[in-house]
Chains A and B, each alone.
Chain A
Amino acid sequence: MGYRIKMNNSWFKFSKRLLSYVVTLFLLISIIFILLRISPGDPVQKFISPDLHPSVAEKMMHEFALDQPLFVQYGNFIKNLLSGELGFSYNFRQPVSSVIGTALPFTLLFSLTSLIFQLAISISLVTYVSKRKGNFLDKCLEKLSLGIYSVPTMLIGLMLLYIFSMKLELFPSSDLYSLDYPYFSFFEKMIDIIWHMTLPLITLSLPGTLIFYHYLKSNVDISYRKNFILFLIANGKSEKEIFSKHVLPNSLSTLISVVGVELGILLGGALITETIFGLPGMGRLTVNAILLRDYPLVMGAVLISGIFVLLSNFIADIIKINLNKRLKAEIL
């Protein structure tokens, strides 16, 4: 009986938290809506030359429903939001959901692959290094992690572009597909995409890998100094078992919250990597929408990235609770 009450309690807390996320998102969207409408700049001007008769512009304003009072526009916006279409993009002349649908799969694939790489490489590096303390690699990484952390993403991208694409001509410099992509067989298509994604993936993953490595390494070092590890060593447990069963799970919690933040930002679009390598992702879509005053698309993109950020933080919290039950009272 007591167990059930506890369960209900935690579910209640979870749902309360989700509700607060929804409220936050709604407030955010509303504020951005108001900001966009009161801001100077006319979305119609991008499509209609000033030489044309003003009635054409007026007609277009009427089509976009921009001539109506703010409350009516806000009502329309809420209606669109609830219908799931998120409005009609001015620039693409398509529902926003389908415009985002063209960019989102790439971003999901790109950022999740990158995140998996980052996690896999950093965790395996820590596993390798923690067995051999004071190793050459250990010292190298310690110095490098600060050094490479200070290199902004764009410079890594430009450097890779210059070396591997311009001088050595090993990888393509932009785009996701080759020109004759449609005529390839399935296997060749895979190879083609991987070939095109190599440099962007390295650009996106390198700083994150080193940050993750840094956090994980310092936490592992702290864990090794704790008393229960000494106890386990005294009991004669094997080093491998101590590391994988006791040290690593105890030092993952910081990493997971960092990963949560990082993932949310990645899913919002890796703007700079996309710009350097000319990739069709969410970041460029959002910025182009902002610059073209494509109001519905901006709102849609902001909503999507907000959902991703909050959701990834939420998932990170849940994983943290599952790893360490004591954190439950603290986090929820």
Chain B
Amino acid sequence: MIRKFYIWHYVVFITSAIFILRFQEVLNSFTLLYYSIVCFFTVENFFINYYSFSQLDQILSPIILFAILVLVILKRNRWKFLSSRICFSNAMLIVLIFTFLLTPLIAPYNPNLQFNLSVSKLLSPFSSKKIGLIVDYSDDNYTPTKIEKYIHFKSIFEREVVDENYFLADSIITSNDINIYQRNTEITLPNGSNLKTQNALFIFGTDEFGRDIFSRLIYATRLSLFIGALAVGITFILGLILGFISGYFSKLIDGVLNRFTEMLVSVPTIFLVILFLAMFGNSLMVVIILLGSAGWMSLFKIVRGEVISIKNKNFITSSKLIGMSNWKILINDFLPLLLPSIIVNLVFQFANVIIAESALSFLGLTGNHLYPTWGAMIHQGQFYLEQAWWIVLLPSIFLISTLIVIYDFGRKFELKEI
């Protein structure tokens, strides 16, 4: 009997739940790993011709799953975080980390897979349908080569567009003939065809193109967090270096940089970002760089102020006299002292970036990336608000709870509770 519910219990619970619910996918991933290793040694130019990031992702995710499980069980008493009590923000943080790392394992379908529109358009949450998969055994004696098997397993994960052999139906009856019902139409398959049926449960429903919202949400979480993290990294570099230059060197540079920041602060940032988006196009990299470079002003002020207050201390002078370069002085002497206040600022900046990104996507200004973001999902769902509230609701819940987590952790860092 567990007296208290600690974080490591929760992590173990989630990992085992994922393992049980997605057992087939874990198995398939390992098969894919096996065939890719075999093909690597047998097929010429295998990595160049057949490999892509998504396969690597797919193969790595179950390994990461097991690694997390083992690590958490081994380190449960060592790491303070794992043996602390569970609360909402901790639980949500762990869910976010899991969705970020194990995206292909958690998401049941490809986020861009459009099922047959006649059946799957705007399905409400928890609606259950049948998936039919026509398997073609044309020749029993024919044994596929390794690379064909590899491509077969790859195609299981990467169903992008509807192919004729993989379809969704309201119901499939297999008594004598195989009858497939798709909303008022009835299809009868010829007799000898081999049909596999699966149940498809759309937990969070589907959108107007018949795409599974749960899968889209999982991928959107990854993309949104990725954008936020990279943008914050850019903010960190810009703010730190500019603040250091401004505080550490001559007064002339200080004055120029100060005037420049004041100028940037005097325009609402979102207009500047939109202006630059209109100028440089709205690809993912541009969005990340713009969001990252839109928020360095507050960090700049913090770093500058602290650098000015520290720079005349003895240990800095001695480092200078030893002959350390300015870069080394920044990294070795200033950064450790600045880090606490920088972290607080960056945590709140992360929230700002996520809000700004979702606002921009909501206005439809960030373009179409390969995967959606929360804001893009909300943007897309707002036109169907009256018929299909679930398209907007679920990304909103994720967005809000992520922000709550971030603010909570920011506050804890600020009060030095962690």
Q: Take A24-B262, A152-B399, A155-B400 as given contacts and tell me if A287 and B358 are in contact as well, using a CB distance cutoff of 8 Å.
A: no
B residues 377-418 touching A (CB-CB < 8 Å): 378, 382, 385-386, 389, 392, 396, 399-400, 403-404, 407-408
- B363→A309 contact, CB < 8 A: no
Nearest CB on A from B269, distance (A): 9
Q: Take A28-B267, A306-B266 as given contacts and tell me if A158 and B259 are in contact as well, using a CB distance cutoff of 8 Å.
A: no
**A146 in the interface, Cβ–Cβ < 8 Å?**
yes
Q: Take A35-B275, A158-B378, A158-B382 as given contacts and tell me if A27 and B359 are in contact as well, using a CB distance cutoff of 8 Å.
A: no
Chain A residues in 8 Å Cβ range of B279:
35-36, 39-41
**A107 in the interface, Cβ–Cβ < 8 Å?**
no
- A158→B392 contact, CB < 8 A: yes
**B270 in the interface, Cβ–Cβ < 8 Å?**
yes
- B275→A271 contact, CB < 8 A: no
Question: Bound complex: CA of A108 vs CA of B185, how far in Å?
Answer: 57
Chain B residues in 8 Å Cβ range of A25:
266
Q: Take A265-B268, A275-B363, A306-B266 as given contacts and tell me if A152 and B355 are in contact as well, using a CB distance cutoff of 8 Å.
A: yes
Question: Bound complex: CA of A41 vs CA of B281, how far in Å?
Answer: 10
Contact indicator per residue, chain A 277-291, by CB within 8 Å of chain B (1) or not (0): 000000000110011
Minimal Cβ-Cβ distance residue in A for B271: A286
Chain B residues in 8 Å Cβ range of A27:
259, 263
Question: Bound complex: CA of A259 vs CA of B57, how far in Å?
Answer: 47
Q: Which of A27, A153, A154, A302 has the most CB of B within 10 A?
A: A154
Question: Bound complex: CA of A299 vs CA of B404, how far in Å?
Answer: 37
Question: Bound complex: CA of A128 vs CA of B262, how far in Å?
Answer: 38
Chain B residues in 8 Å Cβ range of A146:
404, 407-408
- Which secondary structure dominates chain B's binding surface? helix
Minimal Cβ-Cβ distance residue in B for A151: B400
Nearest CB on A from B363, distance (A): 6
Chain A interface, number of residues (Cβ within 8 angstroms): 45
Question: Bound complex: CA of A169 vs CA of B7, how far in Å?
Answer: 45
**A66 in the interface, Cβ–Cβ < 8 Å?**
no
Q: Which of B266, B270, B407, B408 has the most CB of A within 10 A?
A: B266
- B385→A24 contact, CB < 8 A: no
Partner of B271, one of A150, A152, A272, A305: A305
Minimal Cβ-Cβ distance residue in B for A265: B268
Chain B interface, number of residues (Cβ within 8 angstroms): 33
- A154→B385 contact, CB < 8 A: no
Minimal Cβ-Cβ distance residue in A for B279: A39
Question: Bound complex: CA of A293 vs CA of B274, how far in Å?
Answer: 12
A residues 21-66 touching B (CB-CB < 8 Å): 23-25, 27-28, 31-32, 35-36, 39-41
**A255 in the interface, Cβ–Cβ < 8 Å?**
no
Question: Bound complex: CA of A302 vs CA of B279, how far in Å?
Answer: 16
**A190 in the interface, Cβ–Cβ < 8 Å?**
no
Nearest CB on A from B394, distance (A): 12
**B278 in the interface, Cβ–Cβ < 8 Å?**
yes
**B219 in the interface, Cβ–Cβ < 8 Å?**
no
**A147 in the interface, Cβ–Cβ < 8 Å?**
yes
Question: Bound complex: CA of A161 vs CA of B262, how far in Å?
Answer: 37
Q: Which of B259, B262, B263 has the most CB of A within 10 A?
A: B263
Question: Bound complex: CA of A305 vs CA of B279, how far in Å?
Answer: 20
Question: Bound complex: CA of A271 vs CA of B404, how far in Å?
Answer: 23
Question: Bound complex: CA of A153 vs CA of B319, how far in Å?
Answer: 49
Assuming A39-B280, A40-B279, A153-B359, what are 8 further A-B pairs, CB within 8 angstroms? A23-B259, A35-B279, A158-B396, A264-B268, A271-B359, A290-B271, A290-B278, A291-B278
Please name 18 pairs of A and B residues whose Cβ atoms are closer than 8 Å in the assembled complex, sorted by A: A28-B266, A31-B263, A32-B275, A35-B275, A39-B280, A41-B278, A41-B279, A147-B404, A152-B399, A152-B400, A153-B359, A162-B386, A162-B392, A265-B268, A268-B268, A286-B271, A293-B278, A309-B267
The 8 closest A-B pairs by CB, nearest first: A150-B403, A39-B279, A268-B268, A150-B404, A28-B263, A309-B266, A306-B266, A155-B396
